[in-house]
Chain A
């Protein structure tokens, strides 16, 4: 079978069947790509996960591009990236088209009044989880605090914070090396 079509189909399936975002996709990707199709080895997969995690962009898309590129260079990467993004795109498009009609419905409005505070909490939770993983100490604790205040109170773009933090990390690495 055509490998482009095959890899597109595999990632389309991964895109459809994972609820809850990027990291929830890892087990399914491993099952399909490592165990079923044997496109990459278990060790390569661990490396890919580490690199895809530290790079910017959507985690699942990054993994898909890596594997697609390994199979068929750039055209392979386009096939797997399209496969991963397409189910989301189509499902959301259908919801977006119809949600506008229900938005003003009183039942839907009441439900979303209850959902909104919960969603804010869902964004607050990974803040604390990430803080734990970043292993903040008394020398680095100011970084997230100053970043958050600069964005929240001064309206600084998060993009500038990212750029500054990257440069800062690099310079600090040079000094301590």
Chain B
């Protein structure tokens, strides 16, 4: 049954995933963590980190990884988990295939009409909200710890969050390098 739900879920994510890889992440996060509880918040964050550091589109990387982990977490064997990752990836790509072919065949000339452009005008500000929500939903004890649970880890986490934000946004450090720096910081401070 999990394969059926994986397929439906990632098909929906492919169909409604506007705003590039990160826009899609907010949908993946909502569906796999909040709605289905297939992954923990920390597992999802780890998957995003690995998806960012490996080659290829972030959407494909995280769908593959989420499919694998979801099936694995449900207690299935490794071959089944591989099937889960294939299901999620295929389901994510399928809506694109259908939509793009339809656009090429029929709708190319409607892409620049007033109606279509107004739809996109409504979508753009909403996608900003989606990303903001994904950020807020990931600020959990799983990812940052809490002052009660482990004050040291909580303070370091807050510092690394701010450092990574300033580093990538204002100093324009490459995100992949930033992840590696924070991995080293984690190793030195938490090991």
Contacts and interface: CB of A to CB of B under 8 A. Distances in A.
Interface residues of A, number: 101
Interface string A74-89: 1001100100110111
Q: Chain B contact residues (Cβ within 8 angstroms of A): what range?
A: 35 or more
A134 B26 contact: no
Contacts of A162: 16, 18, 123, 126-127, 130
Contacts of A128: 169
Contact of A58 (B21, B42, B114, B117): B21
B97 A81 contact: yes
A158 B16 contact: yes
Given A65-B96, A85-B60, A151-B129, A117 B160 contact: yes
Contact of A118 (B24, B78, B178): B178
Contacts of B189: 110, 114
B89 interface: yes
Contacts of A78: 97
Interface string B147-191: 000000100111011111100110000111011011111110111
A66 to B, nearest CB: 6
- For the residues of A in contact with B, the DSSP-based class is helix
Contacts of A106: 191
Contact of B111 (A51, A109, A111, A134): A51
A58 B179 CA distance: 23
B183 A155 contact: no
Contacts of A116: 42, 45-46, 49, 142-144, 157
25 contacts: A19-B55, A21-B21, A52-B100, A74-B101, A88-B54, A88-B57, A88-B64, A92-B56, A93-B68, A95-B54, A109-B190, A112-B186, A114-B187, A114-B189, A118-B160, A121-B163, A122-B48, A123-B134, A125-B165, A130-B124, A145-B132, A158-B130, A159-B16, A162-B130, A170-B115
